[in-house]
Amino acid sequence: MTAPASTTDFPHFKRLLQARQRNLRGKIHEALLRSDQERYLQIAGQVHDAQDQAFANLLVDVNLAQVTREIQEARDIDAALGRIAVGTYGVCERCQQAIDRERLDAYPTAKCCVACQRREEHLPLAPSTPSL
């Protein structure tokens, strides 16, 4: 087990989360603009047959799925920044134990410790290393 994050780590995680949030907002903005342009081209008669139409629809669906994932990640970031603001960042929402710093480094929006996350996902816990 690694050490839990402390309040002295909050500025680091806040900067990390804010940078990712800016990046996501740019991606979402670009995808929405691209989607509008694709729709305009489609309306302007650029799709000439059913095969082109199917491919255009697939691209729009893929783009929308990506935007949906990015929007959810942005919401998770907002929630993590809120936890930082109130001082509960790095505390598992289920068991109230500290979330390992290593987990937060890998997944800064984590709301749960590994054990609670695995229970939620019905995954077995990794075997622990016996101490000598």
Tens-digit pLDDT profile for residues 3-54: 667 778 999 999 999 999 999 999 888 877 776 655 545 544 555 556 555 6
**pLDDT greater at residue 108 or residue 42:** 108
State what percent of residues in the chain have pLDDT above 70. Answer: 68
Of residues 74, 80, 79, the one with CA closest to residue 28: 74
Q: Hey, what CATH topology would domain 7-121 get?
A: Four Helix Bundle (Hemerythrin (Met), subunit A) (1.20.120)
Q: 125 falls in which pLDDT band (50, 70, 90)?
A: low
Model confidence, pTM: 0.68
> 103 with 112: CB under 8 angstroms?
no
Phi, psi of 120 (to 5 degrees): -65, -40
**pLDDT greater at residue 42 or residue 73:** 73
Q: What is the pLDDT at residue 44?
A: 46
